[in-house]
Chain A
Amino acid sequence: MVTSANYFDQLRKSRVWRSIFRSGTGASTLHRSLVIQQDVFLHLFPTKVRRRMLNIGVTWYLGTLTFGTFMILVSTGILLMLYYHPSVPQAYSDTKDLQFVVTSGLFLRNLHRWSAHAMVFLVFAHMFRVFYRGAYRPPREFNWIIGVILLLITLLLSYTGYLLPWDQLAFWAITVGSNIASAVPLIGNKIHFLLLGGNFVNANALLRFYVLHCMILPLAAMVFIAIHFWRIRKDGGLYSHSSQPPAISDRSAPKEDR
């Protein structure tokens, strides 16, 4: 009698499987932890997480949900790129084509847009939770800084994506937003010029915002997301009230008046 579990065992022992997964074939705790530790993506994560830390009340899953919206934005964004030309004569009509001509284009565009709104909301909710629960305290203070960088990247992604439909709202929003950059002392006008690739929101600005939105900022976000996840593991795992970091509890221990 050959069950499906046997099939899977046979598959795991096969040469192809062993060449892809280096962690061996055993089912011991050691082997199972090696599967996690040696995975190129999952080595970012701790080998073990306490079941208690997976209760929704500990984190409300806000960071995971933020990452989920990010993955939706990457996948829908890549699909939208297949029908969008970042050029002045075509950008607006391509946006309209996505809505009314391309099959499922309206769904993809709306999914991209609403996920972007959800991501900004979730980033803020995540940061409020971390702040009010004190999860930013040592040894996690550097991960808070990484989080602030990720907040800025999120806002810049929203801002650069705003121009791409190339309608009146996009044009004036970027006109106003880039003029805010001019308020930087001394180098403000230079920043304005470099950001737009000219003195007005025009073809160069559209192309620059497209490259920023589709290449530079997503790649930067992925690098910082990787560091962010890795630091959770290195800084002692997820934070909850009852797992106060030793740096805080050691310092407060000898004092009587606390």
Chain B
Amino acid sequence: MPDERQLQPAKLQDGDRRAFFVKLGVGSLSIAAVGAVGFGYQFLSPNVLFEPSPILNVGKPESYPPDSVTLDANSGIYLIHSNEGFFALGAVCTHLGCLTAWKPELGIIACPCHGSKFSRTGEKIEGPAPRSLPWYRVWLSEEGDLMVDRSTTIRSMQFLRV
């Protein structure tokens, strides 16, 4: 038979016990809430994306006549064959993501959504766009095709001579 005093060794006050359980409850709920936020964030971030590869094969250099600007609307890039060489510009406006358009009669790139204007080398001329259009890395594949990597921006005025 256990002694009764052994069951209640420290003489816990009712208030202490309640405060302890309140702390225990609030503490475990807080931990659970943090876990729920973490779980929610992880769950809502897709682990596999069925999005097109950032690396594009844009074909032979000969298919781009000298002094030409070619828009690939599906991949959102300009392939430009200038006198200095080839370069690729992002065609997505740096303002809010609209697809820009090359205006050959004005020699500029213009955004139809909010009126930003860019030069042929991507520098911002006017409008709400915060930055110039990005230059993407361009190189020749072993088969002699022009390749563009949309995930790698480079400093401007780095032309590819073929």
Contacts and interface: CB of A to CB of B under 8 A. Distances in A.
Interface of A: 172, 175-176, 178-180, 193-194, 197-200, 202-204
B56 interface: no
A199 B45 CA distance: 11
A198 B51 CA distance: 8
Contacts of A180: 96
A176 B41 CA distance: 23
A130 B38 CA distance: 40
Contact of B113 (A172, A203, A204): A172
B49 A179 contact: no
B51 A202 contact: yes
B51 A199 contact: yes
Given A176-B96, A176-B98, A176-B113, A199 B50 contact: no
Contacts of B113: 172, 176
A193 B97 contact: no
Contacts of B49: 198-199, 204
A176 B97 contact: yes
A34 B49 CA distance: 57
A200 B51 CA distance: 8
Interface in B25-79: 41, 44-46, 49-51
A175 B50 contact: no
Contacts of B96: 175-176, 179-180
Contacts of B50: 202-203
A197 B97 contact: no
A180 B49 CA distance: 22
Contact of A179 (B41, B44, B97): B97
Pick from A178, A179, A202 the residue with the most CB of B within 10 Å.
Answer: A179
Contacts of B44: 194, 197
12 contacts: A172-B98, A175-B97, A176-B96, A176-B97, A176-B113, A178-B97, A197-B44, A197-B46, A198-B49, A199-B51, A203-B50, A204-B49
A23 to B, nearest CB: 39
A197 B98 CA distance: 19
A180 B97 CA distance: 9
A172 B100 CA distance: 12
Given A175-B96, A197-B46, 10 more contacts: A172-B98, A175-B97, A176-B98, A176-B113, A178-B97, A179-B97, A180-B96, A193-B45, A194-B45, A204-B49
Q: Which 3 A-B pairs rank lowest in CB-CB distance, beginning with the nearest?
A: A179-B96, A179-B97, A176-B96
B49 to A, nearest CB: 5
A175 B51 contact: no
Contacts of A204: 46, 49
Contacts of B97: 175-176, 178-179
A193 B113 CA distance: 22
A204 B49 CA distance: 9
A178 B97 CA distance: 9
A19 B46 CA distance: 50
B81 to A, nearest CB: 27
A194 B98 CA distance: 20
A171 to B, nearest CB: 10
Nearest to A172: B98
Contacts of A176: 96-98, 113
Nearest to B41: A194
Contacts of B95: 179
Contacts of B46: 197-198, 204
Nearest to A183: B96
A198 B121 CA distance: 29
B101 to A, nearest CB: 13
A82 B95 CA distance: 38
A198 B41 CA distance: 14
A232 B136 CA distance: 59
